[in-house]
A and B are shown apart, each in its own frame.
Chain A
Amino acid sequence: MISAATVAAWLHHAATLLDEHKACLTDLDAAIGDADHGVNIARGFNAVAQKIAAQPDQSLGLLFKTAGMTLMSAVGGASGMLYGNFFLKAAAVAGDRNRLDDADLLAVLEAGRDGIVQRGRAELGDKTMIDAWTPALATLREALAAEQPLTTALTRCAATAQQAMAATIPLQARKGRASYLGERSVGHQDPGATSTYLLLRSLSETVTNAALLTQEQPT
């Protein structure tokens, strides 16, 4: 179970983490794209963090919608459109809820992932963020089905995303700017899969922190 406050904390943490990795993401993008992913995505999530700080106590649907719309306008590149659609689709599933149980969270993330597929039309193996999202969410689904605690499930989800991110290295890009490079895109890690990993890692870390805090406070 996670609350809207935890989701807001996630988006703040994501902004921080992406900002810290701005240079690394940009370097990855410089190798096979237009060298703007790090700067763009960090700017987008910082804008998101500011927006939601200015509008506290929203329902999750509104929170995700704010994030989606903000990313679409504040990123400028394709990743903004993709992550933007992620949050818009997530918003549709979250609706006016203020907390998500484990199954809801999975549904929200999967709907968001489907939004990315809908917008980018990437398939597995195309060397895109989908190569990280799909295996990572499959892990989350399995872990939850095995009745593992959410913190464990999210940790494993992030770990899978990390492996999947590294597994984009030998792939040849078939979508996005990198696909213009053809075979020369092989051997580089996909920046989108990398930012996806960071996003899932920040989710896992935020939820784990929240769980620790809850345990410390007597109820």
Chain B
Amino acid sequence: MIGLVLVTHSARLAEGILELVNQMVQGGTPLAAAGGTDLPEAPIGTDPIKVVAAIEQLLSQDEVSEVLVLMDLGSALMSAESALDFLPDDQRQRVHLASAPLVEGALAAAVRARIGGSLAQVLAEANGALAAKHEQLASWQHSLPPLSAETPTTDPTAYAELTIIVPNRLGLHARPAARLVSLAAQYDAQVTLTHNGRTVPATSLNQVVTLGVRQEDLLVVRATGTDAPAALAALEDLALDNFGDPIEVTEPLEIIAAAAVIAGGDSFAGVPASAGTASGPAYRLRLPALDLEEQTTDDPAAERQKLRAAVDAVIEQLRALRSELGQRAGAAEAGIFDAQILMIHDNDLIQSAEETIELRRIDAASAWNWALRSMVARYRALEDDYLARRADDVADAGQRVLRLLAGLPAESPLFAPPEPAILVAAELKPSDVARLPADQVLGIVTAEGGATGHSAILARSLGIPTVTGIGAAAVASIREGQTIALDGDNGLVWPAPDPTLCDRLLARRTAWLAQRQKAQQQALAPAITLDRQTIQVAANINLPGDLAMALANGAEGVGLFRTEFLYMDRESPPSEEEQLAAYLEAARRLQGRPLIVRTLDVGGDKPLPYLRYPHEQNPFLGHRGLRYCLDHPGLFRPQLRAILRAAAQFPVRVMFPMVSTWDELVLVDALIDEICAELQTEQHPFDEDIQRGIMVETPAAVLLAPQLARLVDFFSIGTNDLTQYVMAADRGNAAVGGLVNAYQPAVLHAIRQTTQAGHAQGIPVGICGELAGDPRATALLVGLGLDELSMTATAIPAVKAQIRQLHTADAARIAETALQFSTVEEIQVYLKQTAPAPEKE
């Protein structure tokens, strides 16, 4: 016969049930109870020793073959399970634990046991004990008050239910989960997902992903509410559609990453973007970690509002990134931002942060940090490797919110590996490359990009071996810290290089470094003509960050710092201090080489969003450059102050754009005098004798050059604008664009006049237009007597090589002859004939 053991928290409850059951079976079923504890001060509870005793008491009776244990809840379950642990094996095999309802189950089981049911029959009876009650009371259901939408019903019959076998190769990873969550949210229904006994709301991406659902797993979808049937139907359709994932192995990033498809046996093929080889650990760019100090608050409502606003703002950022990437790389690649949007626009996460604000009365950033960290930890704890890596996506999106709340700019990620490493990235902006710590980067591998992008060019000039375009899938398959190898000459990346390969690459790297050092020495060496004349070769830069590349290419200074870039992509002009910092940074990096700072050159043709310009009929001939700045001292003065202050410490020079009259320079001098007096009073160091120069870019300046040279310390010819003004042609107008050619004889004459005027007054004359960087013009420019050529960084090595093959007397003759011609065609043909033979490497 089957005996019954009842485990409850209350001794009196146990007694009561025994009384009730015995009344039914009249002592015909062996029963024992383990109710309450033996502790007088805490009688409510359970004790596994009492459970063991009850089981042993029944098993010791000859008529009892097996024992069924019924229990109430909580520790009763644990006590029953612990009791089984304490029993010897032979006894334990005769005991079964039932999840049936205690009172109804005990009655039903006892009755069945009394008439000689087997363990299975008794158990079935106990488990079905609520059926009669359900049936009896079903007619009352309609008169119950309807459940509000807020409280999900616990009655299983009120659910519509759907079981899905997940077809996706990678399970419910971020993208299919995101599609499911978005779809579920569209219906007026409470939808939950149950997986391995865990139930989560289908509207929380974080909870859905952290279920860790894998391919072939069973997922139970339940819905209540008005739209429940429609919601389930839609979700079933989505599931049948493989949750929107391609069925074939074509998912670019994820499926291939999981299967790591490798080209050519053991390497990924990409684009050889920068020569050289490397092997070492792979690391990615990381957002710099934030050090937050927890603040208490008296106004939690305001903190909550701040949090909501920050989350909304970040969602906007992510949407913008998505549409930008979507245009460049296609919707599939951009989908990750959709997932990130859902990850942080997650009720679970936001509410948890909000409640932390309320309960602990702390600031929004700290509360969000708490909530975010626990969410990231939940992702990391997932067994599935792929899903666990999504922790980075949550952390990344969450960090954006954190930075916003902390009032920090959305900073770009940094490369800070624990040891010199290979940088692995989806794509790199030139600014990312410029900021790389040179001693920490062994090489670069990117998913996107070719050989001609700015980043590749920059990597080449910095001498970092680089392979681009190995594809997002390959990049995603590389783990942080994994040793990889790359060959920048042939565009190959080995995700798991063997030691022999590494040795071979190392040998090549050594040879390459030696060769590179030689090439670099050449670029870095001064440009001296055959007759020992030194020509200054400088770089044009937009931001201090451009200097890494300029110096690597052998720049001997900066001939043109276009400060407009400091004023762009922001909502107000940079402050004096910000500008000072930028000028000092550039000057410091130049290590004593000269820096020519051109003051703000804006106008109707180059507008800044926060400056107001009247509409101009002809902005090129309008209120721009120095003209505009002189009329807007509020804008101009901070810049001049910053430049004058920087000049106190470094060889910084100032240069004014778009000068056309003597008066303009007089006004500038007066303004500088005024500012110097101010700085004197404020006790800021400054250089009142700062070298001042002008861009010669208007015909007026050319014609007036002999007079203007008396007011300034140098000239720099801006051939781009000068050509347009001299030729009276707009390069943007296709009909006359052909006229805009710096080799036009009129332009060359203008250059000669300017140079002669400058030299007559004893001041140096440079050139900073595109013509300066054209090696075909080098002989001509040297022959015209220019003292400095300033150009885009990458042009420097070739121009220096040209200079080294020149004799200044030859160059002067070439220039003299060229100026005899009447047409641009004749001049260009002539220069081609006289060009020195290209340098042999």
Interface residues of A (CB under 8 A from B): 36, 39-40, 43, 69, 72-78, 80-82, 84-85, 88, 119-120, 123-125, 167, 169-172, 174, 176-177, 183, 186-188
Contact = CB atoms under 8 A, between A and B. Distances in A.
A187 B378 contact: no
A167 B375 CA distance: 10
In order of increasing CB-CB distance, the 8 nearest A-B pairs are A76-B45, A81-B78, A187-B355, A78-B75, A170-B352, A187-B359, A76-B37, A125-B378
A43 B37 CA distance: 13
Nearest to A185: B355
B557 to A, nearest CB: 51
Interface stretch (B46-54, B258-266, B544-552, B766-774): B46-54
A186 B355 contact: yes
Chain B interface extent, by class: 35 or more
Given A72-B82, A81-B79, A124-B377, A170 B42 contact: no
B45 A75 contact: yes
A76 B82 contact: no
Nearest to B378: A125
A125 B381 contact: yes
Contact of B370 (A124, A167, A188): A167
Contacts of B82: 72, 81, 84-85, 119
A25 to B, nearest CB: 14
B97 to A, nearest CB: 13
A81 B45 CA distance: 11
A53 to B, nearest CB: 19
B74 A183 contact: no
Contacts of B48: 72-73, 81, 84
B78 A74 contact: no
A98 B85 CA distance: 25
Nearest to B38: A73
Nearest to B357: A187
B487 interface: no
Interface string B76-103: 0011011001000000000000000000
B358 A187 contact: yes
Nearest to A40: B42
B351 interface: yes
Contacts of B412: none
Contacts of B79: 72, 81
B355 A170 contact: yes
A177 B74 contact: yes
B286 interface: no
Contact of A72 (B49, B74, B351, B370): B49
B748 interface: no
Nearest to A120: B78
Contacts of B352: 170-172, 186-187
Contacts of B371: 170
B378 A124 contact: yes
Given A73-B49, A167-B374, A186-B355, 5 more contacts: A73-B38, A75-B45, A81-B82, A88-B85, A187-B359
A4 B370 CA distance: 39
Contact of A69 (B37, B46, B49, B353): B49
Nearest to A169: B356
B370 A81 contact: no
A72 B47 contact: yes
22 contacts: A40-B42, A40-B45, A43-B41, A72-B49, A73-B37, A73-B48, A75-B45, A76-B42, A77-B45, A81-B48, A82-B78, A84-B48, A119-B78, A124-B378, A125-B210, A125-B377, A169-B356, A172-B352, A176-B74, A183-B351, A187-B352, A187-B355
A124 B381 contact: yes
B74 A78 contact: yes
B224 to A, nearest CB: 15
Interface string B123-154: 00000000000000000000000000000000
A76 B46 contact: yes
A171 B355 CA distance: 10
Contact of A169 (B37, B198, B359, B378): B359
B190 to A, nearest CB: 13
B39 interface: yes
B374 A171 contact: yes
B44 interface: yes
Given A170-B370, A183-B351, A76 B78 contact: no
B39 A74 contact: yes
A170 B353 contact: yes
Contacts of A82: 78
B276 to A, nearest CB: 36
Nearest to B359: A187
B813 interface: no
Contacts of A73: 37-38, 47-49
B759 interface: no
Contacts of B378: 124-125
Contacts of B356: 169-170, 187
A69 B79 CA distance: 12
A165 B184 CA distance: 34
Nearest to A31: B359
B606 interface: no
Contact of B351 (A40, A176, A186): A186
A88 B85 CA distance: 10
Contacts of A172: 348, 352
A124 B378 CA distance: 7
A120 B79 CA distance: 11
A215 to B, nearest CB: 35
Contacts of A36: 42
Given A169-B360, A187-B355, A187-B359, A80 B75 contact: yes
B319 interface: no
B804 interface: no
B637 interface: no
A123 B207 CA distance: 14
Given A72-B49, A119-B82, A125-B374, A77 B75 contact: yes
B373 interface: yes
A40 B43 CA distance: 11
Nearest to B372: A170
A200 B762 CA distance: 82
Given A76-B44, A125-B377, A170-B370, A119 B74 contact: no
B373 A76 contact: no
A186 B378 CA distance: 15
A174 B198 contact: yes
Nearest to A78: B75
A119 B81 contact: yes
Contacts of A188: 359
Nearest to A39: B42
Contacts of A40: 42, 45
A80 B49 CA distance: 12
A185 to B, nearest CB: 10
Contacts of B42: 36, 39-40, 43, 76
A58 B37 CA distance: 27
Interface string B534-566: 000000000000000000000000000000000
A77 B42 CA distance: 10
B210 to A, nearest CB: 8
Contacts of A176: 74
A85 B374 CA distance: 27
Contacts of A88: 85
Nearest to B73: A177
Nearest to A72: B48
Nearest to A75: B45
A77 B360 CA distance: 29
Contacts of B49: 69, 72-73
Interface string B736-749: 00000000000000
A43 B38 CA distance: 13
Contacts of B81: 119
Nearest to B207: A172
B470 to A, nearest CB: 34
Interface in B29-79: 37-39, 41-42, 44-49, 74-75, 78-79
Contacts of B358: 187
